[in-house]
């Protein structure tokens, strides 16, 4: 039916064999944040991976309709994985109604993938302010200029709003943090480490939080192997 059907690349013909070393439960760190740190370091050292901190964040409406987008990881520790966004955006409103998220790190050149699932909560205002202050002046203005995820008439409208803000807050002046902008922390209840292998016999090792409690403290993790 389409005029491109004959010359188009057929994704069904695209096949990669992954030649990597095996991942066993014995090789894993005792908890997922330490394991994430190992893989994140290896990923960051690999020049084939642009923006190793880019992750796909999936959210869903209260009635379960999902949506996904790329966001940058800005902080992580045992308390969880943090990104910054507009709380009034689509993802922000979905999280307000249904506070669970999935974070997926697609590290294809290493034949690796990490999937974090858990409860999402807003970070403290002090944490948001501290991060906002580290952003370049232009990005600070951009956070004000864009009512993220709302429909706008044109790019010109966006640029006009930016120019207006740039005049109000010239370089060197302090830009206040927009009230609707801030951090989201995903507190993991499960973290899966996926390592690709030949013949689709991939390794999938998943840490599952045992206590069901949020936050730091004496958390224990069970590791289970999943069929690829
Ligand atoms: C590489 C990359 C990094 C991005 N980082 C962020 C980010 O850190 N925060 C953010 O709000 N949007 C970020 N975006 C834009 C989002 O993908 C998305 O367009 C925006 O957050 C609106 O999403 P929503 O309408 O689903 O809420 C990034 C996009 C790309 C491609």
* Residues noted as catalytic: 200
CA of 22 to the centre of ligand 1 (A): 33
* CATH number of the structural domain 19-135+179-225: 2.30.110.10
- pLDDT at residue number 179: 97
Question: 203, 228 in Cβ contact below 8 A?
Answer: yes
| pLDDT by residue, tens only, the chain of 228 residues | 455 566 788 998 888 888 778 899 999 999 999 999 999 999 999 999 999 999 999 999 999 999 999 999 999 999 999 999 999 999 999 999 999 999 999 999 999 999 999 999 999 999 999 999 999 999 999 999 999 999 999 999 999 999 999 999 999 999 999 999 999 999 999 999 999 999 889 999 999 999 755 555 679 999 999 999
- Joined together, the tokens standing for residue 8 give 């188009």
Q: Please state the pTM of the whole predicted model.
A: 0.93
pLDDT at 115: 98
For ligand 1, residues with CB inside 6 Å are: 51, 54, 67, 69-72, 83-85, 89-91, 148-149
Alpha carbon of 153 to ligand 1 centroid (Å): 20
Residue nearest to atom 4 of ligand 1 (CA): 71
Cα–ligand 1 centroid distance for 23 (angstroms): 32
């Amino acid at each position: 039916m389409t005029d491109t059907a004959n010359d188009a690349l057929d994704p069904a013909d695209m096949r990669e064999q992954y030649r990597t070393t095996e991942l066993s439960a014995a090789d894993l760190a005792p908890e997922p944040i330490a394991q994430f740190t190992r893989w994140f370091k290896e990923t960051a050292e690999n020049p084939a991976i642009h923006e190793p901190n880019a992750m796909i964040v999936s959210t869903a409406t209260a009635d379960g309709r999902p949506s996904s987008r790329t966001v940058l990881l800005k902080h992580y520790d045992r308390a969880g994985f943090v990104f910054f966004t507009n709380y009034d955006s689509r993802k922000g409103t979905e999280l307000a109604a249904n506070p669970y998220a999935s974070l997926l790190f697609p590290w294809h050149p290493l034949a690796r993938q990490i999937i974090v699932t858990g409860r999402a909560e807003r970070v403290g205002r002090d944490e948001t302010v501290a991060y906002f202050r580290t952003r370049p002046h232009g990005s600070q203005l951009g956070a004000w200029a864009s009512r993220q995820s709302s429909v706008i008439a044109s790019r010109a409208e966006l640029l006009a709003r930016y120019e207006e803000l740039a005049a109000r807050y010239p370089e060197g002046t302090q830009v206040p943090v927009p009230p609707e902008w801030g951090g989201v922390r995903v507190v993991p209840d499960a973290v899966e480490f996926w390592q690709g292998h030949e013949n689709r016999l991939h390794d999938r090792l998943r840490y599952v939080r045992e206590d069901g409690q949020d936050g730091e403290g004496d958390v224990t993790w069970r590791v289970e192997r999943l069929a690829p």
